[in-house]
Amino acid sequence: MANRSLPAGRYFGAFALIVALLYGLVFFTGDTRTPQLGLDLRGGTTVTLAARTPDGEAPAQEDLELARRIIEQRVNGLGVAEAEVVTEGDSNIVISVPGDDGEQARELGATAQLRFRPVIEGPAPAAAAEEAPAEETEGAETADGSAEGDTAEETDPAAPTDADDAVEAPELPDPDAPPVTQEEAAAEFATLTCETENVTGDIDRPESFVAACSEDGTAKYLLGPTIIEGTEIDDATAGTEQSDGSWVVLLDFQSDGLATWAGYTSANVGSSVAFTLDGRVVSAPRINSAITTNPTTITGQFDQESATELANQLRYGALPLTFTQATAQSISTELGAEQLEAGLIAGALGIALVFVYALFYYRLLGLVMIASLLLSAAVVYACLILLGREIGFTLSLAGIAGFIVSIGITADSFVVYFERLKDEIREGRSLRSAVPRAWVRARRTILSADAVSFLAAAILYVLAIGDVKGFAFTLGMSTVLDLVVVFLFTHPLMAVLSRFKKFGANRFSGLGRVEHTRRPAPPARGRELVGAASGTGPQDRSTS
């Protein structure tokens, strides 16, 4: 039979090539040699943001998805590594940040509305809860290339600063209330102290006059109705001036926004305009000339950090929805380490029990199973490292649970194969001839079982969210790798070992016991009847 001359070397070679390729990529590409760990193993923060609308209804799904993309861009712009931003249900966005970036995760959804408003009065000094930082200067200028020397400077105490505490969610305006008049806003401006509780302004209607504080609470402004919404911003980047190397912010508007901006700056040269995020003034440069083309250049006493922060606020500040922080869960690094240790202990216990059972019941066949499981673990480990590099896959506690469950699925493949092998030997075949016949019959069952497991994992991955996806992913991946190991290593190894008579002895493999319990083949029925009738033998038969 062709199966008896199985080219085991080719199968071993193919498997060795796969392992060598995987570990070659692990050690000779990238800068990590370990799998990436998820929040529950590494520690981190998960923040759930709930979208709010003035009428209390669920937001439009396209707005929710747009908000998710903008928040994801904020994460990337702030340099928060390995964060995940996903929608959940019809109104929630979940931000997951591993490591020590929890405070940044809490603030990522705090800003919902970016608006440009004219400055009517201010900046005026305001009492702050903390010592006010030194003032800095910045300005706005045109960078259209049509004119030179269009620079301006102003004193702006509202330069970006790092927030020490997560801000509270702003209040939504009443859609039925009339806009705030200039007189009403001026009265509020006169009494505004910009204490800590006042720094975070409410979200006002775009047509209202507002009294607003700077981000750090050191200055206050009286602002007019909105000129341009932040959604009209196309891009904002930090850069340096070619002349002196000073840091600036370059602001690009979309076509409609640029037309509005050109008209306003032409009519208001010398005036100041405030950039507000949820009612807080993050910058208030003075218009020094008409700006009719992109980009608008914001100059001032910037360094790289402050210029980058302002550019990110302008680029990612405009969300189509307002959010509140529904839940926030932080997992310390110590707790993550404890959970990782517990998961590894659980996995080790599961593997140990499988090993003990295999050695007790299958003896040398058990060693084949153990060797196959160890090689499968080596392949899985390399795949986890590469997947973490390429697609950002992180191993969670649920993922470890998927691997523990997959141990049983992998071991089941060996049990099916070995039991079929015993059946062949009970039918009177030698170990060498039983191996190929047992494989032909067992592989159908193995393929069917693994196909069902993989299909279940795939459906669970598509329909589930959060950590359940990690469980489904590792379960499906382990199922596929189980087939690779069984087909390219376990079966060829059994074909090689079957050539040694001692391997099939009862002392070593337990298969000899199967031979001893084999039922003897019954004698031919015709020959038994003739011997019984004649009493002498076949040669004394007579006819009449």
Domains of the chain: 2-34+332-516 (1.20.1640.10), 44-106 (3.30.70.3400), 113-317 (3.30.1360.200)
**Which is more confidently placed, 517 or 27?**
27
**Which is more confidently placed, 464 or 455?**
455
**Which residues, other chains included, contact 337 with Cβ-Cβ below 8 Å and sequence gap of 6+?**
41, 43
Point out which residues pair with 96 in neighbouring strands: 46, 84
- Provide the whole-model pTM: 0.53
8-state DSSP, 422: H
Q: Give residue-wise pLDDT tens across range 118-156.
A: 999 878 887 644 443 333 333 444 333 333 333 333 333
Q: Give residue-wise pLDDT tens across range 179-222.
A: 888 888 889 888 888 875 444 445 577 888 988 888 778 888 99
Please tell me the distance from the alpha carbon of residue 199 to that of residue 155, in angstroms, as a whole number.
20
Per-residue model confidence (pLDDT) at position 132? 37
Tell me how long the chain is.
Answer: 544
pLDDT(17) > 90: yes
Per-residue model confidence (pLDDT) at position 118? 92
The mean pLDDT of the chain is 74
Q: Which residue has the tokens 């200039």?
A: 182
Q: Please compute Rg for the chain using Cα positions.
A: 37
* Side-chain-facing half-sphere of 281: CA atoms under 13 Å: 32
Q: Are 402 and 472 in contact (CB under 8 A)?
A: yes
- Other CB atoms within a 10 A radius of the CB of residue 480 amount to 13
